[in-house]
Structure 1
């Protein structure tokens, strides 16, 4: 869950204090927030305990303007999110939590593979919740940068969670934007959607996997999920097809597409149960993979309004059902890396003496600087620090400088 949908509560909190604040004057912003929080039903002691002494984290402002769903090439984005490691782990989660997932499907009509795919993309099945305390992040973003009114609403909802006792403040850590728990709900989404599925009297998305999985299915159901129907299919376009009709919101009867020669890439017939409305999605243009998507794709999209994100979940859910990878290739001569390949690339960089920190599969600024140095040494163009298949293959084949030296 990301930050695409503004909230009414956020708009209400914005009144009277929407100017951008600097780190130096955040105290005046916090004081203004205190009055509004108390007026909205948050106890003064709750606010003072958890917000009054917060020190702003200005590093969040860069992240606010750089979401990976919108800045990363889709072949990189998909390679890292839908890799064999995530597929294998997801299938293990399907087995481990089969009983819970069956009850979730019975209650909300969302199949286990889709629920687990959301879990896998959002937190790698509970391995990566994020490390930023929500109260610090949301207080900072309530007072600095753009969209302050939105984040003030999320701060208010976070304080409600703490005050209600469902999740303690020390466990409310997550993304820079305030998403938390196994399936990364924003606090306002928690208020509207989260359910107590394990029956302990608390809606706990941090320590209760049943609560998290059921809450995710509830979200999808309320977003229009249609039980028993597919999200879409990878398709093949006929030669010369007019792609101006593509776009997620450009829906036409399925007969429109089939009448113009659009077919499933696996050669099978379209299932009649998918309904009549379908849209053509070309996430990398005419020369990349093409998809016909239905209402269930929109339900996934609503979780985080980015087509690449929805496609990652949809494709991962297919892989969890035993289907293969995409048939068509992405239009690039330098495909993206899986997480295992990213770790391998980092290991090769370390072997060449680059100080990039730990091998974690995250290609950050230190790794990119090291890649640039190796691209230059290898004579690769462009020297752009891109961690893709091309530099990985070259480093696999090249003899490390130390090993190549006489007597080394």
Structure 2
């Protein structure tokens, strides 16, 4: 209705023709409203209402949660069906997450939130740097929560998956029931129950069932509010790690140097790795030689290598990805004051720093090759824009955010 009224306002029509247009528009409004509703969705909603009530959801809670929701969200379905054209190479994944600004903001947040971080560490035993790194990875220290394009109604998003996505029907249904229970608990109201297309919520992006299992009221206001309370959000992340076996006072892993000879797969004591020629970088000693560790070389030989410990696998309970756990660990170390990795990621080009990537994105946007965020993160949209630019100027198509491409953009 809002868009229709704007379109009528844009027409410069006078006299009788305007009156006819206005009358026709008013007569058509009910048709627009009915077209927006999905009869199949309405039928599903009635059936799901009965299921929810059997699970202890009150009619009042359900009706309040679904007020105004009469169709699935196509944006959610588009996100659910999106298949990346290529798996991001290691350098791209880590360059986009372990940035100068992420480290700087992590250090600033550490100073700002020290009293709360101390309380959380005392209660759960989790290193604050790890929590800050997770917060950066999950929501860019909460910045994503202000993006109304990607943060939408959790109820509608999960209802969309439960109703219209066969692959995620079971997930959508279970998470939607959990979301309704969160709403019914009073921890958050329906207008603020927002999340990603898959229902990940708040500063630390918890899906509803994980929220139910681990959420804590850290600030003592009677609500477990991971959307508006940073102490609650970081405390909830610490709760998850603690409950999954976090080892207080121990690290997640070490950057190491490896010999040229073949090394075994699997887990060995650090003392055994040392006998095979694996050394900690910068000539440092391992503090506990009996710790069991596994060797990870995410970019293959020639790139950084790591011996990872128990806490690495606890981080994976947050997100079951080696790259994710490594990025959290590396970023946490740098927030804590550690220098960058000794061995850099293998890249087939000359690297740009984050400010230069932002300049590259800006110039691509000015020339019409990029329409994404100017965020200094060279994701798939930036690489597509680079490829289009390279094609337009007749150079070899590579798609890398390189100094060579930036220099060419500056000249053009």
The answer (yes or no) to whether the contact 1:75–1:335 under 8 Å persists in 2 is no
Aligned to 2:294: 279
Structural mapping, 1:16-31, within 5 Å: 25-31=40-46
Structure with greater contact order relative to length (CA < 8 Å, sep ≥ 6): 1
Superposition TM-score, scaled by structure 2 size: 0.82
Give the secondary structure class of the aligned counterpart of 2:324: helix
2:121–2:127 contact (8 Å) kept in structure 1: yes
Aligned 8 A contact 2:360 2:409 in 1: no
The Cα shift of 1:138 comes to 0.6
Q: 1:222 aligns with which of 243, 253, 266?
A: 243
CA–CA distance in structure 2, aligned partners of residues 156 and 336 of structure 1: 46
- CA distance in 1 between partners of 2:93 and 2:75 (Å): 23
Partner of 1:251: 267
Q: Structure 1 length as normaliser, TM-score?
A: 0.83
Pairing of 1:4-403 with structure 2 (within 5 A): 25-51=40-66, 53-64=69-80, 71-129=87-145, 130-145=150-165, 146-242=167-263, 245-246=264-265, 250-272=266-288, 275-334=290-349, 339-354=354-369, 356=371, 359-361=374-376, 367-382=382-397, 386=399, 388-390=400-402, 392-401=403-412
- Structure 2 distance, partners of 1:54, 1:329, is 51
Q: How many residues align?
A: 368
CA change 1:179–1:266 in 2 (3 A) is: same
1:29, CA displacement in angstroms? 2.6
Deviation at 1:77, TM superposition (A): 1.3
Q: Distance in 2 between matches of 1:335 and 1:29?
A: 54
d(CA) in 1 for partners of 2:305 and 2:90? 13
Is the CA contact 1:351–1:400 (under 8 Å) kept in the aligned structure 2?
A: no
The CA deviation at 1:326 is 1.6
Q: RMSD over aligned Cα, in angstroms?
A: 2.4
Query: In the alignment, is the contact (CA less than 8 A) between 1:289 and 1:326 conserved in 2?
Result: yes
Q: 1:362 to 1:234 in 2, by over 3 A?
A: closer
CA distance change for structure 1 residues 330 and 365 in 2, over 3 Å: closer, same or farther? closer
- Give secondary structure in 2 for the equivalent of 1:252: strand
Counterparts of 2:410 and 2:218 in 1: how far apart (Å)?
55
1:280 partner SS: strand
Q: CA deviation at 1:329?
A: 2.5
Following the alignment from structure 2 to structure 1, what is the Cα–Cα distance between the partners of residues 370 and 332? 37
Other structure's SS at 1:291 match: strand
> Bigger shift: 300-309 or 331-340?
331-340
Partner of 1:20: none
- Deviation track 1:67-122 (CA, whole Å, cap 9, x = no partner) reads 88x93222111111110000000000000000111111111101111111111111
Residue pair 1:252, 1:278 contacting (<8 A) in 2 also: yes
- Over 3 Å counting, the alpha-carbon distance change for 1:47 and 1:61 in structure 2 is same
Give 1:7's aligned residue.
none
Q: CA offset at residue 136 of structure 1?
A: 1.4
| C-alpha distance in 2 between matches for 1:355 and 1:67 | 20
Structure 2, unpaired ranges of 5+: 1-37
Task: Tell me, yes or no, if the aligned pair for 1:183 and 1:213 is still in contact at 8 Å.
Answer: yes
Structure 1 residues 369 and 226: CA distance shift in structure 2, 3 A: closer
Q: Are 2:386 and 2:401, in contact at CA under 8 Å, matched by a contact in 1?
A: no
Matches of 2:380 and 2:40 in 1, distance apart? 30
For residues 267-286 of structure 1, give each alpha carbon's deviation from its aligned partner in whole angstroms, at most 9, with x where no partner exists.
Answer: 111111x7421111111222
Q: CA deviation at 1:215?
A: 1.2
Tell me the CA shift for residue 335 of structure 1.
6.8
- Measure the CA separation in 2 of the matches of 1:365 and 1:266: 35
Residue 288 of structure 1: how far off its partner (Å): 1.9
8 Å contact from structure 2 (residues 363, 409) kept in 1: no
Kindly tell me: are residues 137 and 341 of structure 1, through their superposed partners in 2, closer, same or farther at Cα, counting changes over 3 Å?
farther
